Structure 1
Amino acid sequence: MRASRFFISTLKEAPSDAEIISHKLMMRAGMIKRLGSGIYTYMPMGLRVIRKVENIVREEMNRAGAVELLMPVVQPAELWQETGRWDKMGPELMRVKDRHGRDYAIQPTSEEVITDVVRTEIKSYRQLPINFYHIQTKFRDERRPRFGLMRGREFTMKDAYSFDRDVAGMQASYKAMYDAYVRIFDRFGLQFRAVAADNGAIGGSGSHEFHVIADTGEDALVYCPESDYAANIEAAEALAPAGERAAAAQPLAKTPTPGKAKCEHVAELLSLPLSQTVKSIVLAVEKEDADKEIWLLLLRGDHELNEIKASKVAGLANYRFASEGEILEWFGTKPGYLGPIGTKKPVRIVADRTVAMMADFVCGANEEDFHYTGVNWGRDLPEPVVADLRNVVAGDASPDGKGKLAIQRGIEVGHVFQLGTRYSEDMKATYLDETGKPQLIQMGCYGIGVTRILGAAIEQNFDDRGIIWPASIAPFEVVLCPMGYDRSEAVKAETERLYESLLAAGVDVIVDDRGERPGVMFADWELIGVPHRVVIGDRGLKDGKLEYQGRRDAEATPVPVAEMLGFVKARLAS
């Protein structure tokens, strides 16, 4: 490739709406161009990266035995209505009508479509297992699109779907896809971690997320440095404190706490550690055939509610946070002074595991400007329903019993799910077993955010000069920067010789033949992030040398002209 025949459009400054470093650098490097909120045109430089990501994904999916097809972006509403997701997905699902008034979805995912394909094509156990995948445009109508390709509305995903006879087969397919994902992210050259996760809206029985490690990541990843334990914070289990609960040592007392509505302020007023306080969170559950239920969740004052865990408590699957009016009706006071003792109307109480082990704790007295101190289970309150309700914190015991937990940030770029019969049951996708009886097909699904990989890779690999692409997904592996290409025959001849040699060796190389000044030329390619650069100049040629510089190198390395091809190939191989 020659730069004069390509399209290079770099900017000195990022647009004002670019928020995080990957968004800023992709805009400055001319890789994407904003068309609308969360919608981007992939410019030639960015598209080259996308295609390289797709190629790696495609090669590893094929290697794992998956079969490629292509499903439509526009999908009939009837399929989504079969699984109940037409309503459940909410406003993220873009709904449209055709000229006849029929409803369609602009797909955010393809479980319904692929299940429809399989229920019409797969009849016998002899046709299973099978795994289909495609790489396709998706659309999710994000409420607040941001961060460029990291949280856009239109994006490209690879999604795969496995179909098996039984649970053991599904688990084997899941393991094969998990292993393929490890190979894919290894080939991307990114630091990543696979963590146990919640299935969310997709449904199913188990899943893992793949995260690129980055300080700017939106997700907190929990792991144990002494073992293989790793989980998204949504799924990480918080164990109960070890040992027995301490016996009551203080009397129950209603204590004035004027104007102190937060646990932090109450602890400060009473000269107590925050960990001695208990916070109250009020939830409401609407009942179709009965009055609403009000629930009170109790957490230690220095802990945070895990909303996913709360939704898994029996009876709380469809909870919402209670309104101030409901809180006044059930507790008789405004938020900030709530507690489990003496509620105005009966509430259902659930204590986090840590709270259930506390003694002599402080909680609201259901009266403004008052809290109870010296509260104890059994004496002042009946023993509670206990559940894991909180986010883990660094230093908590690892659930596998092998050390303490640590937390790092990550960007989710892949997710694998064991779906089981979540979709095959709703859509009646069955096969005939060896005895001729119909059985539900066991499913798995596996997604990779192709375009999101670009943002995640940059968040992990950049400096003050620009992007630093891993060689496997860089828009070009090598850039040749001739000094005076249009003025020196010697420079031009050596540039062409090296260019042809690199092409013949299968290297993805570009020659910057635009005639730009060296400073401009170098700045462009450092911004774009090409990992290997070779400079050809008259001064070096007189000494029989060319200059090589890796994108992470502080200085250039002189290399004899005759050895440069082998030198570059060795660097690429390493």
Structure 2
Amino acid sequence: MRATRFFISTLKEAPADAEIVSHKLMMRAGMIKRLGSGIYNYMPMGLRIIRKVENIVREEMNRAGAIEMLMPVVQPAELWQETGRWDKMGPELMRVKDRHGRDYIIQPTSEEAITDVIRTEIRSYRQLPVNFYHIQTKFRDERRPRFGLMRGREFTMKDAYSFDRNVEGMQKSYEIMYDAYTRIFQRFGLEFRAVAADNGAIGGSGSHEFHVIADTGEDALVYCPTSDYAANMEAAEALPTQTSRPAATAALTKTATPGKAKCEDVAQLLNIPLETTVKSIVLAVDAEKDSGKAAQIWLLLLRGDHELNEVKAGKIAGMANYRFATEAEIVEHFGTKPGYLGPIGTIKPVNIVADRTVANMTDFVCGANEADFHFTGANWGRDLPEPVVADLRNVVAGDPSPDGKGVLAIQRGIEVGHVFQLGTRYSDDMKATFLDENGKPQLLQMGCYGIGVTRILGAAIEQNFDDKGIIWPTAIAPFEVVICPMGMDRSEAVKTEAESLYHALLASGIDVILDDRGERPGAMFADWELIGVPHRIVIGDRGLKEGKLEYLGRRDTEASNVPVAEMLAFIQAKMAAK
């Protein structure tokens, strides 16, 4: 590619609405251009990167035995009504009507569409297993689109769907996709981590997320540096901080704590460690409509320095659809406003659940259900009944690893891929069956596997940038090599060598661009540093007189002089090492 025959449009400053590094740099590098809220044109420079990401994904999916197809962006509402997601998805699901008043959706994902295909095409166990994938535009009507391609409304995703005879087959297909994803992210040249995750609204029995490691990531990743344990914060198991409960040593005492509604303030007033306090979180679960029953009230207890994991709370039996209790409900059950709540002496019965750590605490401090008072010296079994115990909290760095092989650490990540074991979540709703060896119908076991193709761009930049611009890994860079000739329009020697090297690199299969725009060196270098091309070759009269060309890797601090005759082999060696 020659720069004069390509479209290069860089900016010195990012638009005012660009928030994070990747958004700013992609806008400045001319890779994307905003069309509407959360909707972008992919400009030629950005599209080259997307295509390279897609090619790697496609090659590894094909290698794993998946079969490519293409499902429509617009899908009939009837399919989504079969699975209940027409109502459950909420306002993120873009609903539209055609000229006849029929309902459709603009797909955010394609579980319903592929299950509809399979239930009409797969008849016998002999046709299984099978895995279909497509790379297609998706749309999710985010309430507050932001961060460019990181949280836009329209995006490109690769989603794949496996179908098997039984759970064992589904798990095998899942492992194949997990391994394929590992190869994909290795080929991208990105630092990543796969973590156990919660299935969330998509349903199913097990899943892993693939995260690009970045300090700016929205997700907290929990891992053990001395073992293979890894999970996202929602799914990370929190063990009790002590394995058994010591004997009680203090008497239960109602202690004045005027104006001290927070555990931190109570601990400071009483001159005790925050770790000896217990915080109360009140949740409610509404009864069925028209039942005439009041909401059930739940009291969750956590150590004063710990935070509630809301996903874990929703998995407690009976709490799938919980909400935070209103102040009126709290006063009705506890006799006081929030800040002094506790499990001892509630006005009305409540369902009490203690976190594992709280269940092993002795002589703890909790609210006395009276304004300006707390109990000190509270103990299970003596002052209140033994609790229902559950894992309720977010882990913190230094917690014991659930596999018993060390302690946990936490880092930030950007989710770019997710693999799910769906089981019969969709095949049951949509009656997708096959005939087994005995001629009996059985529900298909499903898995689904997604990669945010366009999100990869933002995540890669968040991991790889400096004050000059983007630093692309070679595998997904818009161009692998840029040739920067100095005064090509004035020097025949420079022009000849630039053309010769350009054609030699092309012939060897290297994706190279020749900057023949005639820009000044400073402006030329600034453009390519901003765009992030990983390898730069400078050709000038002075170097040619010495028989040398200048090479600079995007991460290098100093340039290297390479003999003219050796530059092709030098670059080929760089490509082989990528």
The letter of the residue matching 1:2 is R
SS of match in other structure, 2:4: helix
User: d(CA) in 2 for partners of 1:540 and 1:336?
Assistant: 74
**Mapped pair 1:340 → 2:360:** no
The letter of the residue matching 1:101 is G
User: d(CA) in 1 for partners of 2:445 and 2:559?
Assistant: 56
Counterpart of 1:59 in structure 2 is 59
Q: Structure 1 residue aligned with 2:557, among 542, 549, 554?
A: 554
1:497-551 per-residue CA deviation (whole Å, 9 max, x = no partner) reads 0000000000000011111000000000000000000001111111111111100
User: d(CA) in 2 for partners of 1:255 and 1:485?
Assistant: 84
User: d(CA) in 2 for partners of 1:220 and 1:573?
Assistant: 34
Counterpart of 1:119 in structure 2 is 119
The letter of the residue matching 1:328 is V
User: d(CA) in 2 for partners of 1:183 and 1:16?
Assistant: 38
**Mapped pair 1:211 → 2:211:** yes
SS of match in other structure, 2:536: strand
CA contact (8 A) 2:2 2:513 kept: yes
CA contact (8 A) 2:241 2:399 kept: no
SS of match in other structure, 1:564: helix
Q: Structure 1 residue aligned with 2:443, among 421, 433, 440?
A: 440
User: d(CA) in 1 for partners of 2:57 and 2:252?
Assistant: 62
Counterpart of 1:470 in structure 2 is 473
1:299-342 per-residue CA deviation (whole Å, 9 max, x = no partner) reads 00000000010000000000011111221222121111111111
SS of match in other structure, 1:152: coil
The letter of the residue matching 1:232 is N
User: d(CA) in 2 for partners of 1:312 and 1:350?
Assistant: 12
Counterpart of 2:427 in structure 1 is 424
Counterpart of 2:191 in structure 1 is 191
User: d(CA) in 1 for partners of 2:146 and 2:259?
Assistant: 38
Deviates more, 1:131-140 or 1:10-19: 10-19
User: d(CA) in 2 for partners of 1:337 and 1:446?
Assistant: 46
Shift of 1:241: 3.5
Quote the sequence identity (%): 84
Query: Aligned ranges for residues 67-466 of structure 1 at < 5 Å?
Result: 67-288=67-288, 289=291, 290-466=293-469
Counterpart of 1:544 in structure 2 is 547
Shift of 1:45: 0.4
Question: So what's the TM-score if we normalise by structure 1?
Answer: 0.99
CA contact (8 A) 2:242 2:357 kept: no
RMSD: 0.8
SS of match in other structure, 2:193: strand
Counterpart of 2:41 in structure 1 is 41
User: d(CA) in 1 for partners of 2:340 and 2:99?
Assistant: 57
Shift of 1:291: 2.2
CA contact (8 A) 2:300 2:352 kept: yes
**Mapped pair 1:7 → 2:10:** no
Q: Structure 1 residue aligned with 2:516, among 513, 522, 526?
A: 513
Shift of 1:244: 2.5
Deviates more, 1:241-250 or 1:282-291: 241-250
CA contact (8 A) 2:461 2:470 kept: yes
Counterpart of 1:19 in structure 2 is 19
Question: So what's the TM-score if we normalise by structure 2?
Answer: 0.98
The letter of the residue matching 2:541 is D
User: d(CA) in 2 for partners of 1:30 and 1:136?
Assistant: 23
User: d(CA) in 1 for partners of 2:279 and 2:76?
Assistant: 47
User: d(CA) in 1 for partners of 2:283 and 2:460?
Assistant: 39
Structure 2: where are the runs of 5+ without partners? none
Query: Aligned ranges for residues 462-501 of structure 1 at < 5 Å?
Result: 462-501=465-504
User: d(CA) in 1 for partners of 2:19 and 2:222?
Assistant: 26
SS of match in other structure, 1:398: coil
User: d(CA) in 1 for partners of 2:366 and 2:40?
Assistant: 50
SS of match in other structure, 2:157: strand
CA contact (8 A) 2:38 2:153 kept: yes
CA contact (8 A) 2:7 2:44 kept: yes
Counterpart of 1:571 in structure 2 is 574
Shift of 1:65: 0.5
1:450-482 per-residue CA deviation (whole Å, 9 max, x = no partner) reads 001001101111111000000000000000000
Shift of 1:385: 0.5
The letter of the residue matching 2:300 is L
User: d(CA) in 2 for partners of 1:479 and 1:561?
Assistant: 16
Aligned residues: 574
The letter of the residue matching 1:224 is C
Structure 1: where are the runs of 5+ without partners? none
SS of match in other structure, 2:105: strand
The letter of the residue matching 2:575 is L
Shift of 1:243: 3.6
1:168-206 per-residue CA deviation (whole Å, 9 max, x = no partner) reads 111110000000000000000000010110000111010
User: d(CA) in 1 for partners of 2:31 and 2:46?
Assistant: 4
User: d(CA) in 2 for partners of 1:31 and 1:371?
Assistant: 58
